[in-house]
Chain A
Amino acid sequence: MKKTYKIEVDCAACAAKMEEAANKTAGVKEATVAFMPQKMKVEFEEGADAAAVMAEVLRNCKKVESDCEIFL
């Protein structure tokens, strides 16, 4: 399952950090963050609960970039 989320992040390097953090989150098969359109595309593992995974993704992203937001 793939989903796209709107995000808010101020710098391109921070977007790259968010991408790395999201990819390290359990339940995420592949995550891509695009800085220019401010979007995050997440492909979930089979059977993962998207809402729970995304809450964790947001927590992990906040850790690497305190000033970011994902609109879930």
Chain B
Amino acid sequence: MTKKQKKVLIRIIVSAVLVGLLCLVPVENQYVRLALFLIPYLVIGYDILKKAVLGIVNGQVFDENFLMAIATVGAIILGEYVEGTAVMLFYQIGELFQSYAVGKSRRNISALMDIRPDYANIEQDGQLEQVDPDDVEIGTVIVVQPGEKVPIDGVVVDGSSTLNTSALTGESLPREVQPGDEVISGCVNLSGLLRIETTKEFGESTVSKILDLVENSSMKKSKSENFITRFAKYYTPAVCIGALALALLPPVVNLVLGNPPAWSQWVIRALTTLVISCPCALVISIPLSFFGGIGGASAKGVLVKGSNYLEALAETTYVVCDKTGTLTKGVFAVTHLEAADEMAENVLLEMAAHAECYSGHPISRSLKEAYEQRTGKQVDASRVTDVEEISGHGVSAVIDGTKVCAGNARLMKLLNIPYAAPQKTGTEVHVAISGSYAGYILISDIVKPNAKTAIAALKEAGVRQVVMLTGDARNVAESVAAELDVDVVKSELLPADKVSEVERLLAEKGGKERLAFVGDGINDAPVLSRADIGIAMGALGSDAAIEAADIVLMDDDPAKIATAIRIARKTLSIVHQNIVFALAVKFACLGLGAFGFVNMWWAIFADVGVMIIAVLNAMRTLRS
């Protein structure tokens, strides 16, 4: 608790004890009783009264302080001392609770986002010196000891270690780094000492960008927040005028009709409606819910740039994905080996990898990688002689004295060797050994391991259509789409075609539906900004993507899209619950109060009770 909160707590306790005592002690004299009750009343309510007066002086007549001051002063004038003091007491309890809850969720979020480095270590004359990360220039070598956070983006120049990136990406598996690897700030160094040459200034480093983004996300307000702010602006004055009418009109009508006016009865009803109508529950619970939702999402590695985007995400029914880098890894790898009769798969791979060993092409590299991974042996270039590139076809070489040809189908035709046609899609590498066919190897971009479950999860989260857009060849695109269960696939698209495709879908969908585009941030900035919500994936370190996107997934796991949608839906449903619940209770109590069915105690519940329930409900967003 802060100092301010403790002070209020003490006032609450003192005042509550005094009211309790005064209820037990019978005091006959009306004036003595009033004087005694004024003590706890002023202890608990002096600041509210002061604010109400200041508000009137400054032309801010209708606010909560005014509501509370009028209601309680009115009650006391009418002789309802206990009720008058109790209303003020519970109002303060409610305010204290609210302030505590808000402070708690603020602290929770900052704990979740505890990535801000306080210092950077620089080595000077063999001594480590702690300096402000802001003062470290680009190209400086900084030292990160085990247990410390990497303060600035850079490249490892010395040492190897494992890094915990969970605060950034939500990914719990540590990442290994070696000299030459890029490291991003905000990771925690787990095991070894690292020397890192910085490549960015602190202000431009990942950690600063992320913190800036999270801290500013509340600035972009949602429709619900704006609605409530506007609502509260008209609501409180309207209630005050309504209460005034309730206090004056019925007695006047009574007088005209010749009945007893019953002033005090109607004034009490009017005061009760004032207490009920306090809009605190609504006004606090909505930003609190969004803050919790955005904070909970960042803890899972999903950065949402504003409450408005979280709101839009909850209404998402169309998800359009880029293929390469989003659903697939965007790297080539051997996906299938088909050896001809009497040929071992490993030999096929060995021959192909060696034949291609002098090429730097991604295909050759993937062959080499697959060979080394499958057999544990290294490619030995000394076994290879007489390498000859046949442009547009492939390569021929002599390996251990045997002539090996590896290349596409055209190469086999050229050599007049009959070959098998692959059943699956991908880039084909056919291999012939000593002039006879040995089999083929398929190389393709691999689908991310959890892409299929990610798409299933999207549908489960209420997404109606998942569309995949790609610049790739049709057969490749369609096989990936079939494997992943994507609803619609559009292939062989140029970047500009992706924009027009998204525009077509935007025009097609219903007015309340939203379209999200998910890309890896490379070449798709125009589409990211054209969609209702642009989601950039694995975008750490890509400034353009962070800039263009509305939501940034810190790692490249497509399952995070569904996670983000679920968090958004949960947040929005809590927001709606709170709006409906608070308004329903208030309007019900207002209606009943006007006819005298609700006394001051119910009014206190309708105000403070509803607010506490709404705040507790709002805090559930933190645990998403």
- Nearest first, the 5 closest Cβ-Cβ pairs linking A and B are A34-B218, A36-B291, A13-B283, A63-B58, A16-B229
Residues of A within 8 A of B (CB): 4, 10-13, 16-17, 32, 34-39, 41, 63-67
Chain B residues, CB < 8 A from A64: 58, 60
- Give the complex CA separation of A36 and B286 in angstroms: 10
| CB of B531 closer than 8 Å to a CB of A | no
For the complex, what is the distance from the CA of A32 to the CA of B50, rounded to whole Å? 27
- Once bound together, how far apart are the Cα atoms of A34 and B215, in whole Å? 9
B117 within 8 A of A: no
In the complex, 15 of the A-B residue pairs with CB atoms within 8 angstroms, ordered by the A residue number, are A4-B216, A11-B283, A12-B284, A12-B287, A13-B229, A13-B279, A34-B216, A35-B287, A36-B102, A37-B218, A37-B291, A39-B216, A41-B216, A64-B60, A66-B58
Residue contact B232 to A16, C-beta cutoff 8 Å: yes
Main secondary structure of the interface of B (DSSP, over half): helix
CB closest residue in chain A, given B289: A36
The docked-state distance in angstroms from the alpha carbon of A48 to that of B320 is: 44
B521 → chain A closest CB, angstroms: 25
Complex: A12 Cα to B281 Cα, angstroms: 10
A40–chain B nearest beta-carbon distance, Å = 9
B-side interface residues, number (CB < 8 Å): 32
- For residue B620, CB closer than 8 A to chain A, the reply is no
Which residue from chain A places its CB closest to the CB of B284 in the assembled complex? A12
Nearest CB on A from B473, distance (A): 46
Say how far B376's CB is from chain A's closest CB, in angstroms: 53
The answer to whether A32 and B219 touch (CB under 8 A), given A13-B63, A64-B60, is yes
Q: Which residues of chain B in 260-309 are interfacial with respect to chain A, using CB atoms and an 8 Å cutoff? A: 279-280, 283-284, 286-288, 290-291
In the complex, chain B residues whose CB is within 8 Å of the CB of A36: 102, 105-106, 218, 287-288, 290-291
Decide yes or no whether B520 CB sits under 8 A from chain A: no
Q: Kindly name the residue among A10, A37, A39 whose own CB sees the greatest number of chain B CB atoms within 10 A.
A: A37
Question: Does B51 make an interface contact (CB < 8 A)?
Answer: yes
Cα-based distance from A37 to B113 in the complex (angstroms): 13
Flag B348-373 by CB within 8 Å of A: 1 or 0 each: 00000000000000000000000000
In the assembled complex, the CB of B184 is this many whole angstroms from the nearest CB of chain A, namely 23
Residues of A within 8 A of B279 (CB): 13
- Nearest-CB residue, chain B, relative to A39: B215
Among residues of A, the one whose C-beta sits closest to the C-beta of B110 is: A37
Contact B219 A17 (CB under 8 A): no
For A13, list chain B residues within 8 Å (CB): 63-64, 229, 232, 279-280, 283-284
**Which residues on the A side are within 8 Å of B50 (C-beta)?**
66
Q: Whose C-beta in chain B lies nearest to the C-beta of A64?
A: B60
Expressed in whole angstroms, the Cα–Cα distance for A10 and B232 within the complex equals 16
Q: Given contacts A34-B219, A65-B60, could you give 17 more A-B pairs where the C-beta distance is less than 8 Å?
A: A4-B216, A12-B284, A12-B287, A13-B232, A17-B63, A35-B287, A36-B102, A36-B291, A37-B215, A38-B106, A39-B218, A41-B216, A41-B219, A64-B58, A64-B60, A66-B55, A66-B58
Complex CA–CA separation, A38 to B182 (angstroms): 35
B51 & A67 in contact (Cβ 8 Å cutoff): yes
Does B283 lie within 8 Å of A16, measured CB to CB?
A: yes
Report the bound CA distance from A42 to B294 in whole Å: 22
B474 to chain A, nearest CB (A): 47
State whether the Cβ of B131 lies closer than 8 Å to any Cβ in chain A: no
